[in-house]
Amino acid sequence: MAYTSNVMFVRHRLLAKLVEMWKNDELVEKIDYLPIEFSPRRSKPLGRCCPHKERAVWKYKSFPLLGFDMSDEVDEIDPLSKYARKALDRKAPEKENIMCVIDEACTSCVEINYEVSNLCRGCVARSCYVNCPKDSITFQKNGQAQINHDTCISCGICHKSCPYHAIVYIPVPCEEACPVNAISKDEYGIEHIDESKCIYCGKCLNACPFGAIFEISQTFDVLQSIRRGEETIAIIAPSILGQFKTNIDQVYGAFKQIGFTDVIEVAQGAMGTISNEGEELLEKMEEGQSFMTTSCCPSYIELVNKHIPEMKPYVSHTGSPMYYAARVAREKYPNGKIVFVGPCIGKRAELRRDEEVDMILTFEEVGAIFQGMGIEIEQAPEYQMSFKSVREAHAFAYNGGVMGAVKSYLGPRAAAVSGIEVADLNKGNIKMLRSYAKAGKAPGNFIEVMSCPGGCISGPSAYNDIMAGRRQLNKELTKIQETYATMHG
């Protein structure tokens, strides 16, 4: 795994240890000792005051990995083992919310975003003072400015006015990362995610330097389904090709070693998306509609539903690759548990709309499961797909992949298709999409929208880093011989 920050390492280490205890039938018996094992008495944790605080953080970070959040704690005296038992006894995931903030881990960051640094020269111009709308600038005896945080409204005018750049902007990382202002402080100064606004893009997840933000995991719901002997089918997203450093048949073999009954590529479902979306695009163009957007990114669908409702007429009605792959799996296993596996938090929201998908696992969680169960991917027996998906369906994993696949499918009929790629739902791109929706026109007639920069390969819950993942994906794609070009003959 490419650890781009210690936050990711901590999350991975904790889940892998929990899975290891589950595998050895020791989760309930040993979980209460886990915080002490990770933070012994004389340890010196970085960023925390003492090992006792660090132990509390370990305890509460275990909550979302077990499928709970802080609101599930009724009595602070209740040990972790009580929640572990509940996680193992439940028959299906129960939480309605998808993400949560761990109170004990959140440091409340700064409430005021601007501060005067020691670069202040105490100049005569005093532009910061003159331009402040709230008279929040005062001066020390040496002439240096200071900000009265009781009256400051964080407008940033002083920051822009200072000729020495002595007033610095101090962001709240999670708030800064969120493109739809869905996260803010509650009355206690702790960050809170408003899921009525959240689009589940996951940008806040890895932005928090203290690792206080988690998605509610369904890892143990999946593992318990397997342990109970239920037919449990993994439908795996195309970006799997860029996640683990071995050939894809061994990766699928490792999934079989976890205990999955079968493995089905979501790329097979992507072929349904490609054909339906291609035909729908031509139909909309014939009807005179100015443009159509893709519909496969769940975070984009959340964005449209919650923030840009005027875009709804322009969104394709075609189902996502997960939608079609789930129906392939359901036809083969009518009573099975269908588990989507991918790099995406937004799929947890799409699950709410799809009655055929039972649970979600992320690549990050799968990596921890492999480690916790002692599965060496490079030594796994190969498991090959009976259905061979076309190369373009696997290319859904990165930006431009959907558009390229649709054009390849349409062949000569794609001549009139002019495309636009939006690969990052940041504030600027959201503003641009809103302008297209309000105007009812766009520079192209087919807009591919993906929440993550670079596409799904850089999803918030991916296992590999974006650059290494993209290189590996490209390498794996060249091995796939089946394409729409060969099908067209």
Domain-located, residue 51:
yes
- Which pLDDT value is given to residue 429? 97
3-state secondary structure of 374: coil
Owning domain of residue 312 = 231-488
Distant-in-sequence, close-in-space partners of 285: CB < 8 Å, separation ≥ 6: 292, 416, 445
Helical pair 346-353 and 298-306, crossing angle rounded to 10 deg? 70
412 and 366 in one domain? yes
Domain-located, residue 225:
no
334 and 286 in one domain? yes
Radius of gyration of the chain (CA): 25
94 and 54 in one domain? yes
Given 190, 219, 248, which residue is the final one in a domain?
219
- Which pLDDT value is given to residue 1? 45
Domain-located, residue 342:
yes
- Which pLDDT value is given to residue 5? 67
The secondary structure of residue 216, as a DSSP letter, is -
180 and 142 in one domain? no
Given 219, 254, 278, which residue is the final one in a domain?
219
DSSP code string of 161-185:
H-TT--EEE---HHHHH-TT--EEE
Domain-located, residue 81:
yes
C-alpha span between 31 and 168 (Å, rounded): 44
C-alpha span between 344 and 202 (Å, rounded): 8
Take residue 440 and report the two structure tokens written for it.
Answer: 């009812």
Given 133, 148, 170, which residue is the final one in a domain?
170
C-alpha span between 446 and 281 (Å, rounded): 8
Give the number of other CB atoms < 10 A from CB of residue 287. 7
Q: Which residue has the tokens 């990770």?
A: 38
Domain-located, residue 304:
yes
Distant-in-sequence, close-in-space partners of 21: CB < 8 Å, separation ≥ 6: 27, 30, 31, 34
Give the number of other CB atoms < 10 A from CB of residue 251. 23
C-alpha span between 408 and 307 (Å, rounded): 32
Take residue 275 and report the two structure tokens written for it.
Answer: 């054909």
320 and 293 in one domain? yes
Domain-located, residue 248:
yes
CA distances to 193, 198, 301, 343, 411 from 450, rounded to whole Å, are: 22, 16, 10, 13, 23
Give the number of other CB atoms < 10 A from CB of residue 4. 11
Domain-located, residue 226:
no
147 and 103 in one domain? no
Q: Which CATH number do you get for residue 393?
A: 3.40.950.10
Phi, psi of 485 (to 5 degrees): -65, -45
C-alpha span between 452 and 466 (Å, rounded): 10
142 and 103 in one domain? no
Domain-located, residue 66:
yes
- Which pLDDT value is given to residue 14? 95
Phi, psi of 446 (to 5 degrees): -140, 115
190 and 144 in one domain? no
Q: Which CATH number do you get for residue 63?
A: 3.30.70.20
Take residue 462 and report the two structure tokens written for it.
Answer: 């991916």
236 and 136 in one domain? no
pLDDT digits (tens, 9 = 90+) for 160-196: 999 999 999 998 999 999 999 999 998 888 999 999 9
Name which of 357, 355, 356, 279 is nearest 318 in CA terms.
279
| AA identity, residue 477 | L
Name which of 298, 288, 290 is nearest 320 in CA terms.
298
Task: Indicate the number of domains in the chain.
Answer: 3
52 and 117 in one domain? no
271 and 132 in one domain? no
272 and 129 in one domain? no
Residues of the chain where predicted confidence (pLDDT) is lower than 50: 1-2
pLDDT digits (tens, 9 = 90+) for 431-481: 999 999 999 999 999 999 999 999 999 999 999 888 888 899 999 999 999
